[in-house]
Amino acid sequence: MTGLYAGPIQDLIEELGRLPGIGPKSAQRIAFHLLKVSDREAGRLARAVTELKARITFCTRCFNVAEVRTEGGAECAICTDPRRDNHVLCVVEEARDLVAVERTGEFKGRYHVLGGAINHLEGIGPDQLRVRELLLRLQADPVQELIVCTNPNLEGDATALYLVRLLADVDITVTRLASGLPVGSDLEYADELTLGRAIEGRRPLGA
Amino acid sequence: MTGLYAGPIQDLIEELGRLPGIGPKSAQRIAFHLLKVSDREAGRLARAVTELKARITFCTRCFNVAEVRTEGGAECAICTDPRRDNHVLCVVEEARDLVAVERTGEFKGRYHVLGGAINHLEGIGPDQLRVRELLLRLQADPVQELIVCTNPNLEGDATALYLVRLLADVDITVTRLASGLPVGSDLEYADELTLGRAIEGRRPLGA
């Protein structure tokens, strides 16, 4: 394939191909799409990437995304919000998981972004995550409950289990998101693991 | 969702969401990926988009992609290649289809990129395609055969049929790509239309 595309097209296809979820075919399709759109529209995309890197950083407190401020020490909108409850801390893997929790409108506490989940196969242990920073926060803040909102998969479960054990001696309630059937789903089509978890986590009616 | 993301993240998600094949979820995933990569890597992507628009244009002859030259009149690598056969012209919908044909190594003639296919539902007729430019080329160049390489779908077939009728009185052989079973495929899983076309286009063995 090399040589068929002029340099700048090939370069863009390669850069696009590095993005998650974009294969060679999609990269090619997007590159040819960008050739067709106006310079203005393509410029907006290029500028949006540049602006993102220039203006967004990670919160020094919870590691959520935060806007870069001139007066040093970037803190995110949630950490600087005085109305949030300091007693409940929600631990998530990534900043985008935080957004998912925020969208429910059910949670009014603070967050801590681990930056991933324990995955021994890929060499990610507690030291590669922001666990140390979490412990420091638990010493400094009046946290009473830690809700572990890691993903309901192998890595997320391992991370949750690790945190439960780590905090066994600390006077903090550690909870985990309920696993079960998605609202509006069909029992018939549920996989065995999910249905198993739903049975395991069954709750008394009218309680 | 609005307001949950800081401005520059939201802006990038929106720009990414305009690209073909990228939905809101993918756009979000890519934006957060770009937050994590180095400034250098993100910069390469932004620059690749800018470079594409600055350095690539469309060939004034066949409408393939071509590098911008300072001495005006950009022509693509195929139109400027003296070894290509002027007697055979391959008509494709888009420049990326041209690349697909080139990859086979089977074609040594020249190309003409229509810029789409006839689609009455979307208001695309011959006037919206580069049909007029094709006719001008057929008058100027010693073309003996026109291979219509539009896609084997409704729009591509309509375009091929239109071209065949348009050139009925001109002394040029108009051919169409063979439709049939993909090489290495399973007869069992072929759809009826493809199998029907394969039967229709059957060829004598040993011919």
Nearest-5° Cα angle at A139, A134 to A143: 80
Query: Residue A76: exposed, middle, or buried by beta-carbon count in 10 A (0-12, 13-18, 19+)?
Result: buried
- At residue A72, the pLDDT reads 60
State the pTM of this model: 0.75
Q: What is the pLDDT of residue B70?
A: 65
Burial class (CB in 10 A: 0-12, 13-18, 19+), B17: middle
Res A186: pLDDT: 80
Q: What share of chain A is helix, strand, coil (3-state, %, to 5)?
A: 45, 15, 40
In a domain, B76, yes or no: no
pLDDT at A70: 65
Q: How many CA atoms lie within 13 A of A122 on its CB side?
A: 10
* A151 located within any domain: yes
Q: How far apart are CA A86 and CA A70, in angstroms?
A: 26
B171 min Cα distance to partner chain A (Å): 32
Alpha-carbon distance A49 to nearest alpha carbon in chain B (angstroms): 6
What is B29-83 written as a DSSP string? Answer: HHHHHHHHS-HHHHHHHHHHHHHHHHHEEE-TTT--EEE--TTS----TTTT-TT
Rounded to an integer, what distance in angstroms lies between the CA atom of residue B83 and that of residue B72? 23
CB-based contact B22 A30, cutoff 8 Å = yes
Higher pLDDT, A55 or B205: A55
Task: Determine the residue type at A80.
Answer: T
Note whether residue A41 is domain-resident.
no
Hey, are the CB atoms on A55 and B21 less than 8 Å from each other?
A: no
Q: How far is A1 from chain B (nearest CA, A)?
A: 7
CATH code for the domain of A192: 3.40.1360.10
Angle at B77 between CA B74 and CA B78, to 5 degrees: 115
Question: Which of B14, B19, B45 lies closest to A49 in CB terms?
Answer: B45
Residue A193 confidence (pLDDT): 81
Look over chain B and give the mean of its residue pLDDT values, rounded to a whole number: 88
Interface with B, mutate which of A25, A35, A49 (most B CBs under 10 A): A49
Range B184-187 contact pairs with CB under 8 angstroms and sequence separation of 24 or more? none
- Residues of chain B in contact with residue A16, where contact means CB-CB under 8 angstroms, are 45, 48
Print burial letters for B50-68: b (CB count within 10 Å at least 16), e (below 16): bbbbebbebbebbbbbbbe
- Note whether B12 contacts A53, CB cutoff 8 Å: no
Residue B194 pLDDT more than 90? no
Q: What is the pLDDT of residue B205?
A: 66
Q: Which residues, including other chains, have CB under 8 Å from residue A97's CB and lie 6 or more apart?
A: A113, A149, A151
Verify whether the Cβ–Cβ distance B42 to A26 is below 8 Å.
no
The distance in angstroms from the start CA to the end CA of chain A is 65
- With beta carbons less than 8 A apart as the criterion, state whether B13 and B24 touch: yes
Assembly ipTM: 0.75
Percent of chain B's residues with pLDDT above 70: 94
Assigned domain for A89 exists: yes
Predicted confidence band at A109 (pLDDT cuts at 50, 70, 90)?
very high
Q: What is the pLDDT of residue B196?
A: 80
Partner-chain residue, chosen from A6, A11, A94, that has the shortest CB–CB distance to B65:
A6
Nearest to B130 by CA among B74, B91, B157: B91
CB distance B79 to B64 below 8 Å: yes
| pLDDT digit string, tens, across residues B112-139 | 999 999 999 999 999 999 999 999 999 9
pLDDT for residue B99: 87
Whether the CB-CB separation of A17 and B26 falls below 8 Å is answered with no
Number of structural domains in chain B: 1
Mean pLDDT of A128-150: 93
Percent of chain A with pLDDT over 90: 56
| Separation CA B91–CA B160 (nearest Å) | 9
Domain containing A111 equals: 85-204
Asked if residue A170 belongs to a domain, the reply is yes
Look at residue B177 and tell me if it is in a domain: yes
SS3 content of chain B, % helix, strand, coil (to 5): 45, 15, 40
Q: Is residue B63 part of a domain?
A: no
Calpha distance A163→A86 (Å, rounded)? 19
**Which residues in chain B touch residue A39, judged by CB atoms under 8 angstroms apart?**
53
Q: List the strands of the sheet with A85-92, edge to edge.
A: A109-113, A85-92, A145-148, A173-176
**Res A74: pLDDT:** 84
Q: What is the mean pLDDT of residues A45-50?
A: 95
Across chain A, mean pLDDT equals 88
Look at residue A2 and tell me whether its pLDDT is greater than 70. no
Q: Given this model, what pLDDT does residue A177 score?
A: 83
In this prediction, residue B2 has a pLDDT band, given cuts at 50, 70 and 90, of very low
Chain B contact set for A45 (CB, 8 A)? 15-16, 18-19, 49
Q: What is the nearest CA distance from A168 to chain B, expressed in angstroms?
A: 32
Answer yes or no: are the C-beta atoms of A60 and A72 closer than 8 Å. no
- Model confidence over B158-193: pLDDT tens digits? 999 999 999 988 889 998 888 887 887 787 788 888
Tell me the mean pLDDT in the region A148-158: 89
pLDDT in tens, A181-197: 788 778 777 888 888 87
* Reported confidence tier of residue A203, pLDDT bands at 50, 70, 90: confident
B100 inside 8 A of chain A by CB: no
Residue A90 lies in a domain: yes
Q: Which residue has the higher pLDDT, B20 or B199?
A: B20
Amino acid B43 reads: G
Could you tell me if B144 and B172 are in contact, meaning their C-beta atoms sit under 8 angstroms apart? yes
